[in-house]
Amino acid sequence: MPQTQVLERIKDAEREADEIVEQAREEAEERVEEARAEADEIRETAREEAQTAAEQRLAEASEEVEAERERILEEGREEREQLTAAAEERTEEVVEHVVELFEEAVHAQT
């Protein structure tokens, strides 16, 4: 094989190698970009899921707080009713006692 042909084949092989290397570099860059885009999507999805979970926990906590508030208010209403009933039951007794004290005070002055 003549030397010019050998040199030409070497140059062709080098060009082909350069093309292969360039194509591999481009494919690597594409893969890196795809991986970055996928990572961004995963992060965004995770952020959205975390936000949704936090909102759900907040809503559940608010419901629990509201239920506890209602329970406390109901206990307060029941206690108020009991105290009112007890006071009403003692009203006559207290009036009689006050009248007795008044009568004693009046008798003591005479």
Percent of the chain with pLDDT over 70: 99
- Can you give the pTM of this predicted structure? 0.53
Average the pLDDT over 43-49 and give the result: 98
> Tell me: the pLDDT tens digits for 27-36?
999 999 999 9
Domain boundaries, the chain: 1-110
Mean pLDDT of the chain: 93
Helix (H), strand (E), coil (C) string for 4-69: HHHHHHHHHHHHHHHHHHHHHHHHHHHHHHHHHHHHHHHHHHHHHHHHHHHHHHHHHHHHHHHHHH
Res 1 pLDDT > 80: no
Average the pLDDT over 7-25 and give the result: 93
Give buried/exposed letters for 22-48 (b at 16+ CB in 10 A, else e). Answer: eeeeeeeeeeeeeeeeeeeeeeeeeee
